[in-house]
Amino acid sequence: MAGGSIRARSNRSGSVVLSITELEILREVVIPHFLKYPLLTQKRADFELFAKAVDLISAKKHLTADGLREIVSLRFGKGTKIPVELLEAFPDVIPVSRPFVEPRDFTPHWLAGFTDAEGCFDLEISKSITSIGFAVTLIIRLVQHARDSKLIHSMISYLGCGTFWLGASNEGAVLNVRRLSDISNIIIPFFNKYPLHGKKKN
């Protein structure tokens, strides 16, 4: 993808961020890409609101009071934490309704890419009453916002293994695979056939 800048994140060791702020690249490269290859999670709603904001800015609407208020309404509609100064500056702006994204079918390649971004391969060692005093637990975990619970359930059905867990305060939907036979017979063969490409492959 042309354009953008890459920087390391100070709060997460080894993590980097790709940022694209140039309007031309957003309009001619990024938005067409995600229209051709749609996001499958509820994050697609964020994209749809973002694309509307890009259209408004491209039309210079952000230089008018009404256009700016429309963009602020889109920002409020995302549902993420809004800076206090923005709320104070636009106290009467009504957020747009956030679109709902109906879960779609996904490919195994998409699931591998999703795991690259959102998956965890954990090996937990804890004290136990076994003869050596410790137990080893293998856990494969995929985490997403609770609003994507349907998608997590569809992953469980697709893989034929795993359990669903809703995190504290209903904020996270989690797929857990703990059964050794499932890890050996389903998960490892899956990622051998559809390999990870990021650092998580290690």
The pLDDT, as a whole number, for residue 13 is 61
Residue at 159 is within a domain: yes
Q: Tell me which of 101 and 50 has the higher pLDDT.
A: 50
- Cβ atoms 110, 50 nearer than 8 A: no
- Cβ atoms 191, 112 nearer than 8 A: yes
Residue at 75 is within a domain: yes
Q: What is the pLDDT of residues 18-67, one digit of tens each?
A: 899 999 999 999 999 999 999 999 999 999 999 999 999 999 999 999 99
144 forms beta bridges with 173
Q: Are residues 128 and 59 in the same domain?
A: no
Mean pLDDT of 151-155: 95
CA separation for the pair 44, 112 (Å, rounded): 19
Q: What is the pTM of this model?
A: 0.78
CA separation for the pair 118, 131 (Å, rounded): 36
Q: Are residues 113 and 32 in the same domain?
A: no
- Tokens representing 29 are 């490269």
Q: Indicate the number of domains in the chain.
A: 2
Coil/strand/helix, residue 162: coil
Residue at 96 is within a domain: no
Mean pLDDT of 105-114: 95
Q: Are residues 36 and 82 in the same domain?
A: yes
Q: Are residues 64 and 32 in the same domain?
A: yes
Average of per-residue pLDDT values in the chain: 91
Residue at 52 is within a domain: yes
Residue at 64 is within a domain: yes
Instruction: Please say if the pLDDT value at position 198 is more than 90.
Output: no
Residue at 58 is within a domain: yes
Q: What is the pLDDT of residues 59-72, one digit of tens each?
A: 999 999 999 999 99
Query: What proportion of the chain, given as a percentage, has pLDDT over 70?
Result: 95
The pLDDT, as a whole number, for residue 72 is 95
Specify burial of residue 140 (Cβ count, 10 A radius: 0-12, 13-18, 19+): buried
How many helices and strands in the chain, by DSSP H and E? 9, 6
Closest by CA to 162, choosing from 146, 149, 175, is: 175
- Which residues form the domain of 121? 108-201
Instruction: Please say if the pLDDT value at position 16 is more than 90.
Output: no
